[in-house]
Amino acid sequence: MKTLYIVIPMFNEEEVIDETTKRLRIKVNDLIKKKIISKDSKVMYVNDGSKDKTWEKIMQINKEDKLFTGISLSRNKGHQNALVAGLLTARNYADVVISMDADLQDDINAIDEMLEKYHNGCDIVYGVRSARKKDTFFKKVTAEGFYKFMKLMGVDIVYNHADYRLTSKRVLDEFSNFKEVNLFLRGIFPLIGFKTDVVYYERAERFAGTSKYPLKKMLNFAWDGITSFSVKPLRFICVLGFLILFISIIIMIYAFIRKVTGNNVEGWTFITISIWFLGGLQMLSLGIVGEYIGKVYNETKQRPRYIIEDNLLETKI
């Protein structure tokens, strides 16, 4: 039987933690009773430098019930870093890990289906939001716009999937080789590969507390996602440079015709041509420098070049 760890980052979630604990206790005990997961399975809370009583509560819960455990970061490092801390710690104890948010907006009943897919050979199962009936109009539009924009920018992400996901231990082992500091987890896991599947669920409302992702953090997150995964913005500069150079040729012809027809102010031809041509040349040069910076940036990440899924050679003893 496989050991499951559920990893949950928490930042100032004292209002939420008791209810979350109650619901997960029922869920996980039920899975253990049905012999779907081993009785060593646990829920692991990651305290992300909370300023309230979250960590005290986690310690208390752990004292009362060993089904719950926790780690605490030295300070607030943000959702993605807290998640990585949890995932990489949990892989030392678990065969399979599920990550989710503290407010249980992600339906915990999807866990059964995720585990079923895992037992059928999937290494990653993405939780995908099928409906956002409970989200505000603004959240829905910004969130869905975000996924579309990312796709446009060439980032391979699963539409409407956040960080509710099942990963096997071997995926987490491979994941630990991605050393990048600018983290955008939902962009990294599709890069790892292996057999994957999705599970659909309806996203619920936050039952207590307020969102820890205000608009500013969301925009930062989106920007991080694009700049950590795509060199397209750099390529745009190159394309723009070419475009302006092309326009400058048209302007040259136009200015020349005006000069020849005498329909002209003294010096206008020279200035106009100079502005357009130099502008285009500078933009193109910037784009070329950008291309090299893009290469350097990809090299510095030192991402694994490939991941071997199966190897038919006999293992050496």
Binder among 178, 200, 213, 297 for ligand UDP (CB under 6 A)? 213
Q: How many residues bind ligand UDP (CB under 6 A)?
A: 16
Contact set for Mg ion, span 99-128 (CB under 5 A): 101, 103, 105
State which residue, 137 or 306, has the beta carbon closest to ligand UDP: 137
Binder among 9, 187, 287, 290 for ligand UDP (CB under 6 A)? 9
For the CB of residue 217, give the shortest distance to ligand UDP in the complex, in Å: 7
For 148, the token pair is 């579309």
List, edge to edge, every strand of the sheet that includes 196-202.
Answer: 68-72, 42-47, 4-10, 96-99, 161-168, 124-131, 196-202
Q: Is 107 in the site for ligand UDP (CB under 6 A)?
A: no
Q: Is 79 in the site for ligand UDP (CB under 6 A)?
A: yes
Residue-wise DSSP of 196-247: EEEEEEE-----SS--S--HHHHHHHHHHHHHHH--HHHHHHHHHHHHHHHH
For the CB of residue 252, give the shortest distance to Mg ion in the complex, in Å: 57
Q: How many residues does the chain have?
A: 317
Q: Are 46 and 9 in contact (CB under 8 A)?
A: yes
- Which stretch in 34-42, 78-86, 235-243, 248-256 sits in contact with ligand UDP by CB under 6 A? 78-86
Backbone CA torsion sign across 120, 126, 127, 128: negative
- Which stretch in 10-18, 97-105, 269-277, 304-312 sits in contact with Mg ion by CB under 5 A? 97-105
For the CB of residue 188, give the shortest distance to Mg ion in the complex, in Å: 21
Contact code string over 55-94 relative to Mg ion, x by CB under 5 A: ----------------------------------------
Residue 78 binding partner per list Mg ion, ligand UDP, none, with a CB distance cut-off of 5 to 8 Å that depends on partner kind: ligand UDP
Backbone CA torsion sign across 179, 182, 183, 188: negative
State which residue, 13 or 174, has the beta carbon closest to ligand UDP: 13
Residue 227: name the closest of 135, 300, 121, 155 by CA. 155
Task: State the residue for tokens 């509560």.
Answer: 57
Point out which residues bind Mg ion (CB under 5 A): 101, 103, 105
